[in-house]
Amino acid sequence: MSKLIAFAAIQGGYQVVSTVEGELNKALETHNADTKIEFPNTSYYLPVIYSLTGMKVETLEDLIKPMEFARGLLPPHIKGSHHLPYLGPLLDAGMAAIFAYEIKEALRILNDPDFYIPQEDPDLEAGKLWVGPADDVILRKRGVEFVDGTAPGFAAMVGAAPDPEIAKMIVEEYQKRSLYIFCAANHNGKTLVEQCIEAGMQVGWSTRIVPFGPDISSAVFALGFANRAAMSFGGVQPGDYKKILLYNKNRIFAFINALGDVGTEWACAAAGAVNWGFPTLADTDIPEILPTGICTYEHVVANVPYEEMVNRSVEVRGLKVTVSEIDIPCAFGPAFEGERVRGDDLYCQTGGGKTQCTELCKMAEMKEIEDGKIEVIGPDIPDMKEGDRFYLGIYVQVAGREFQTDFEPILERQIHHLINYIQYVMHIGQRDISWVRISKAAVEKGFTLRDIGVVLHAKFHQDFTKILDKVQVTLYTNKEDVDKLTERARAEYKHRDERVEKMTDEDVDTFYSCTLCQSFAPNHVCTVSPERTGLCGAYNWMDCKASYEINPTGPNQPIKVGECLDPNLGQWKGDKEIEE
């Protein structure tokens, strides 16, 4: 990790702790030691301090202990030749700063009780923009959304965009993904929330754009909210810091967008957030912390262009896209899988030996494809007439941090049943021998080839959320495009098959069972080994292995083959036991 960023964060930690110590001493000189200290209407005291240490701050003098605790967390300064990795000290410095920021905010409320308007939405007419820490009523109402998945997490945005249009673009994209946008801090006096208002947006908890406060210390309200959710909904006990932080890392998909110059005060706040597993993405050229460790992937990513900020943040935090609706004009579901499109009902068709119909699924780089992009290149159903036979190439590109090329055939094979799930549409075969028949009823309902892309995008996200982040579908209907895709696909199929063809049963110690077609044949189980595919010929050993990795409780289960009983017949002890 960069010495520079460790230096900045540790330096920032010292600076923030010293400043707040000064503010606390001043408060102790001007107020009685038993003066009440609180965030409004909450039973979680100062929530970050309470949740992580169990300390209950109720009076001014109660602040002394957590302040000392923060000072105690500060690591030694970075010296000239420091060979230790910096992450541990950096995390401590960040946590010290977060504690100090929470004390600072408590002192602000003591000294200026009307600074925040403790309600869901600001009162702009009264000049009250900043809502401060959420009270317990808001926590109960909004926190449950983080638990049931209605809100997968939040974007803590500090600073300001270059102009209101960019602010609006970023914030709206987060809103579309159902994320909350927690705003704090200013950049050269400008704040993101004010830019949103200028761009005509409504702000407040009700629109998920929460104006916490104008300073970097107000960002602590976002962390306090997350920790209260862990205690309130996750049942984690105050003081159990490890569980609280892990709960947040695993369940609250949050991250920080730093818009503007990252000084030492922002750097230590970002370092503090890493303790929660929340990474920071900045629009400026700051030193990065890329290796994984605490956060799911990178910790600090710099120089992110504004148009990529949302996608990059979501990707780095490992937030999965959920597609709940399949927006096509026909009904959709397993109930339609066995439906046939007979001669009289047929409107048009592709494949089946008369024209070419090819399917290919390929892995792509994250930057290469756009999630949800569906294109039909060539004529679509409205351009065809009854009885037409057309060419079709279905090209699905998928990208994901956890995706491997071994998974490509597994996803490709889903195309068969997913198209069959569409009412009034029938699919037979796979690879370059597919056959799709579309009925008059489907066309009457407004079905187009694009809907195949909609289905594949949605279902791949729903069924393979663990391994993929982006799905782009292109449907070719011009003969020359389909021929080109088919040529490429055949090379891919050959390559995939050859990988297994070179293997023998003796090369592995695990075969796989397959029960994929038990909906048709309830008593049927295949054993798939490197030298023997399943009965259908569609599933080889490599496919079963990949399928098991994607879905460990799915239709392909490992069989430890054990001792060879008959080398001529290829019978193995483990396999026999499964059969029996």
- Residue ranges in contact with ligand SF4 by CB under 6 A: 514-517, 524, 526, 528, 534-536, 538-539
Q: Which of 217, 270, 14, 271 is nearest to 107 (CA)?
A: 217
Enumerate residues 6+ apart whose C-beta is below 8 A from 276. 223, 226, 245, 248, 249, 252, 254
The CB-of-430 to ligand SF4 minimum distance in angstroms stands at 11
Residue nearest to ligand SF4 (CB): 534
Residues 6+ apart with CB under 8 A from 245: 52, 275, 276, 277
Nearer to ligand SF4 by Cβ, of 275 and 529: the residue is: 529
Nearer to ligand SF4, 258 or 361 (CB): 361
Query: Which ranges in 382-423 belong to alpha helices (H)?
Result: 408-420
| Residue number with CB closer to ligand SF4 (203 or 514) | 514
Residue 457 CA to residue 472 CA, distance in Å, equals 7
CB 279 → ligand SF4: shortest distance, Å? 41
**Closer residue to ligand SF4 in complex, CB, 15/557:** 557
Specify the residue, 43 or 518, whose C-beta has the smaller distance to ligand SF4.
Answer: 518
How is residue 199 written in tokens? 């761009």
The residue assigned the tokens 């602040």 is 63
> What is the closest distance, in whole angstroms, from the C-beta atom of residue 213 to ligand SF4 in the complex?
58
Q: What backbone phi and psi angles, to 5 degrees, belong to 527? A: -105, 125
Whichever of 162 and 554 has its CB closer to ligand SF4, that residue is 554
Question: Toward ligand SF4, which CB reaches closer, 223 or 410?
Answer: 410
Our CB check for ligand SF4 shows the closer of 191 and 533 to be 533
Min CB(515)–ligand SF4 separation in Å: 6
Shortest Å, Cβ 555 to ligand SF4: 7
The CA-atom distances, in angstroms, between 474 and each of 265, 311, 421 are: 47, 21, 20
- CA max distance for the chain: 93
Residue 159 contacts residue 317 (beta carbons within 8 Å): no
Q: Please report how close the Cβ of residue 580 comes to ligand SF4 at its closest, in angstroms.
A: 18
In angstroms, the first-to-last Cα distance of the chain is 56
- Min separation Cβ 534 and ligand SF4, Å: 2
Q: Could you count the other beta carbons within 10 Å of the beta carbon of residue 176?
A: 9
Give the nearest distance from C-beta 518 to ligand SF4 in angstroms.
7
Cα(280)–Cα(269) distance, integer angstroms: 10
